[in-house]
Amino acid sequence: QVQLVESGGGLVQAGGSLRLSCAASGWIFSSYPMGWFRQAPGKEREFVAGISWSGGNTYYSDSVKGRFTISRDNAKKTVYLQMNSLKPEDTAVYYCARSYHSGATAVQLYDYWGQGTQVTVSS
């Protein structure tokens, strides 16, 4: 069974950092691109960052460029999101997901999702 489990969320002050992890099981992790999305209360789920199956290509939403870094360790079957210079507007539930399409930013191009981890950034 395909499974994705996020961890690393929490409460942090503006300007601080967090690193999110997403552990995968039940599939060949290295064969798929991965992505991070976030969703704040009352808002649509939005794309944050994506990474190719090999880790050689990464892409980000404009709102997080220069602050967030996505990476993956295929041996550990884990994808990470390093978040620096956090802002209150980064507050959301963060989800990792598996894609079946390279370079995907749309929700519909991801077929499996984790349950999410809460990130709260205080002023």
pLDDT at 64 over 80: yes
Give the per-residue pLDDT at 80.
Answer: 98
In the predicted structure, residue 8 carries a pLDDT above the cut 90: yes
Averaged pLDDT for residues 67-78: 95
Long-range contacts of the stretch 72-75 (C-beta < 8 A, 24+):
72/34, 74/29, 74/30
Q: Taking residues 48-69, what's their average pLDDT?
A: 96
Percent of residues, the chain, with pLDDT higher than 90:
87
**8 Å CB contact between 21 and 119:** no
Helix ranges (H only) for 1-123 are none
The pLDDT of residue 102: 86
Q: How far apart are CA 106 and CA 54, in angstroms?
A: 20
